[in-house]
Amino acid sequence: MNPNRMRNVGLLAAPLAALALLSGCGSDETGTAENSPAPVSTTTASAPTTQTGTAAPSTTHTDHTQTTTSTAPNPEGCAIGELNVTLGESSGAAGSVELPVVFTNTGGRTCTLDGFPGVSYVTGASGSEVGAAAGRSGSGSLVSLAPGSAATSLVRATNVENYPADQCGVTDVAGLRVYPPNSYDSVFLAYPTKGCSMTGANINQLTVAPVAR
């Protein structure tokens, strides 16, 4: 064979061999990529937190039950029809007069009086109230009245003309309206005097003490 031709064949074979080698390497890398498992995407989720406890949830309970207390009349209390209410002899004091209001049991049974009578100035037996009712003073206890016996409550009447005229409003009164303790019924006791038609913190025209023996 011609030496030149053989040299040309050798020169051509060398690139072909190199190309074959590169193609083989490329096939191996591609195969490796296809055969390799795809990366696994992992998502981590936190489990919901569970609170463990033996105590039940706290619950506030509101009681809407309404309790009504009614006070029945004391069956042992003296009724107005069992009493004769009068004014005893008055006595003077500094700037005031003490008036004993006397409760006499005219009934046929023993009855009781407990606490303060209600007392106010009025314009007449069926007239209107004048000024403020009597304020309470002192403390007492239950009084038992046998038939024919009596108990007394002291009423202090202030000389209202000693009050400033523009704070009192001095006016004539015919007497006292008196309610026995724990009674809705009243009696009129004649006692003409002067009272305050106005009311105020500085005006204290009448004061009453509890019933006592």
User: pLDDT tens for residues 90-119?
Assistant: 998 789 999 999 999 999 999 999 999 999
* Residues 20, 10: Cα–Cα separation, whole Å: 15
Report the pLDDT value the prediction gives residue 75, as an integer from 0 to 100. Answer: 81
Regarding pTM above 0.95, the answer is no
Which residue in 175, 191, 182 sits closest to 128, CA to CA?
A: 175
Which residue in 122, 184, 117 sits closest to 151, CA to CA?
A: 117
Flag residues of the chain having pLDDT under 70.
1-73
Report the pLDDT value the prediction gives residue 154, as an integer from 0 to 100. Answer: 97
- The strand pairing partners of 86, in sequence order, are 102
Sign of CA dihedral 91, 211, 204, 184: negative
Report the pLDDT value the prediction gives residue 73, as an integer from 0 to 100. Answer: 56
* Residues 78, 23: Cα–Cα separation, whole Å: 131
